[in-house]
Structure 1
Amino acid sequence: MTNVLYDLPGPRARLRYRLIGVVSGLAIVALLAYIVWRFYETGQFDAVKWEQFEYTEIQKQLLDGYLTTLRAAGTAAVLALVFGALLATGRLSDHAVFRAPATLVVELFRAIPLLVLIFFAYYGPIQLNYKVGPFWPLVVGLTLYNGAVLAEIFRAGILAVAKGQSEAAYALGLRKTQAMTSILLPQAVRAMLPAIVSQVVVLLKDTALGFIIQLPELLYVGKQIGGRLPFGLPYVPSYLVVAAIYITTCGLLSWFAFWLQKRLTGGPRRRTTAKEVPLTTEMGAGMVV
């Protein structure tokens, strides 16, 4: 049995794939068990290393760092979406005067590492004798880099819509802007949503780079908590707690994107209750099909 692009696996191939999957799963479980055992052997699960997390002040510090992370990620995500939409509009323009600068900006900010952009936004004003805090340099760096990436996602999603859709819109007399907002974008959003959410998740995790410029976000607070000698320098427990918070937040964001995508696509198709109408030789009065 064959598919369009490749031969479908037979019984022996399917058995081989199952064995590979089982072996891979066992290897991953063994690796995780070894890591947990090493943590136990080195005393990372001792009560003294976890005792500080029972204190209200420590919990408040983690909450403040988490809120700073969410504030930076939320601000940068909104600005990056707007910036990316503007760049995508420029790249899709029929006029070279808009298309060329937008292409240059996208390729430039995609090529520069994010950390370099953050350093430019933070140390550049300092060299010009302007005092800036660490929050906005992080937001600016995240906006420029992720906006350029989102611009390509928007452009690819719009171009992925069947060409006949835009041709039909133009045939109805719609202008390009009307066709884009009324016809192309609603269809493209459904295809772009997983990639957009994936990039927003990346943006959320990249807020940890604010640690380099001493922004008191979640990772920075975790390092401060882990460096306390009276509790045995609990770096590993602190980073495990920070990782759990990141994983939970990204998981909730992915779940929300999945739910939103189902809502946009109308959910699962329901079976119609209409009965089939048998074809007859006569329809109406004297009409023959």
Structure 2
Amino acid sequence: MSSVLYDAPGAKARIRHLVLGVATFVVVVAIIGFVIWRLAETGQFTEAKWKIFTFPFVQQTILQAVGATLSAFAVAAAGSLVLGLALAVGRLSDRAWVSTPFHWFTELFRAIPVLILMMMFYYGLPPLLGLKWPPYVAVVVALVLYNGSVLAEVFRAGIEALPKGQREAGVAIGLTKSQVTSIILLPQAVRSMLPVIISQLVVTLKDTALGFIVTYNEILFQAKYFGSQIQYGSPIVPSAIVAGVLYVGMCLILSGLAKLAERQLRRSQRVAGPKKGAPALNAAQDAATTI
């Protein structure tokens, strides 16, 4: 028996795959065990190394750092989505004098690393402009410019991937190009590109850790500070473990919320389908009746 794309593995192939799987599992477990053993041998799990995290003031400071991280992420995520939509719409314009500046703006800030943007907005521009702003501003602006430029390409690719008949149907019933984009194309593009959008938002959350370069009081900044405390044995590894666990937890929560939102969108689309037809056509017809 063979499938459409490839031949089904036989008895020897299944045994070979099983052996490779078991061997890979053993190697991975051995590497993890070796790392844990080395950490234990070097005293990274001793009480002296972790004692600093038992103090209420330290725990409160870590919670404040988590709040600072989430605050920067929330504003940067919202700003990136808004900027990405604006840049995508500008790049899709038929007028060259409109699309060209949006194109170069997107390519410029998408090519510059986030760390360089943060340093430029905190150490470079304020002295030139004679201004002074907190590290929070530099972190958020850098994240918005970079991730907004990346999301602009995501939105543009999602819109251009839709069938041309969607746009032609909207124009046929009297909608303008802006109405076709905002009512018909953009909602479908967002739904289809939602996994990519969520992945980029997770990147935005992790990139807040770069704020420690500009002395922004986030999780990594506090982990570096606690890890440098000589009187507690310089707990660099325990501090890194704590910071890593916090970042992993926040990313898992964000991914879970994204999956929940995607499931709700699919469920609402599936329920509305038999009763109202295609969502894009319904939106277009509703908009046409208001013209």
Query: 1:268 deviation in Å?
Result: 11
CA distance in 2, matches of 1:14, 1:259: 36
Q: TM-score, normalised by structure 2?
A: 0.87
CA-to-partner distance for each residue in 1:246-287, whole Å, 9 max, x for gaps? 0000001011111111110117979xxxxxxxxxxxxxxxxx
Runs (5+) with no aligned partner, structure 2: 272-291
1:155 counterpart residue number: 156
More off after superposition, 123-132 vs 48-57? 123-132
1:227 counterpart residue number: 228
1:273 counterpart residue number: none
- SS of 1:266's equivalent in the other structure is helix
CA distance in 2, matches of 1:196, 1:78: 12
1:117 counterpart residue number: 117
Q: Tell me the amino acid that sits aligned with residue 10 of structure 1.
A: P
Q: Tell me the amino acid that sits aligned with residue 253 of structure 1.
A: L
CA-to-partner distance for each residue in 1:100-157, whole Å, 9 max, x for gaps? 1111011111111211111111122123332222110111111111111000011111
Is structure 2 residue 8 aligned with structure 1 residue 25? no
CA-to-partner distance for each residue in 1:28-61, whole Å, 9 max, x for gaps? 2221111111100000000111122121101011
Q: 1:45 to 1:263 in 2, by over 3 A?
A: same
CA distance in 2, matches of 1:29, 1:208: 29
**8 Å contact kept, 2:119–2:213:** no
Runs (5+) with no aligned partner, structure 1: 271-289
Aligned residues, how many? Answer: 268
CA distance in 1, matches of 2:175, 2:26: 58
CA distance in 2, matches of 1:85, 1:138: 21
Q: 1:266 to 1:2 in 2, by over 3 A?
A: same
Is structure 2 residue 45 aligned with structure 1 residue 45? yes
Percent identity over the alignment?
45
**8 Å contact kept, 1:226–1:237:** yes
- SS of 2:216's equivalent in the other structure is coil
Q: 1:45 to 1:79 in 2, by over 3 A?
A: same
1:136 counterpart residue number: 137
Q: 1:154 to 1:228 in 2, by over 3 A?
A: same
1:62 counterpart residue number: 62
**8 Å contact kept, 1:118–1:137:** yes
Q: 1:155 to 1:9 in 2, by over 3 A?
A: farther
Q: Tell me the amino acid that sits aligned with residue 135 of structure 1.
A: Y
Structure holding more helix per residue? 2
Q: Tell me the amino acid that sits aligned with residue 118 of structure 2.
A: I
Structure (1 or 2) with the larger CA radius of gyration: 1
Is structure 2 residue 10 aligned with structure 1 residue 7? no
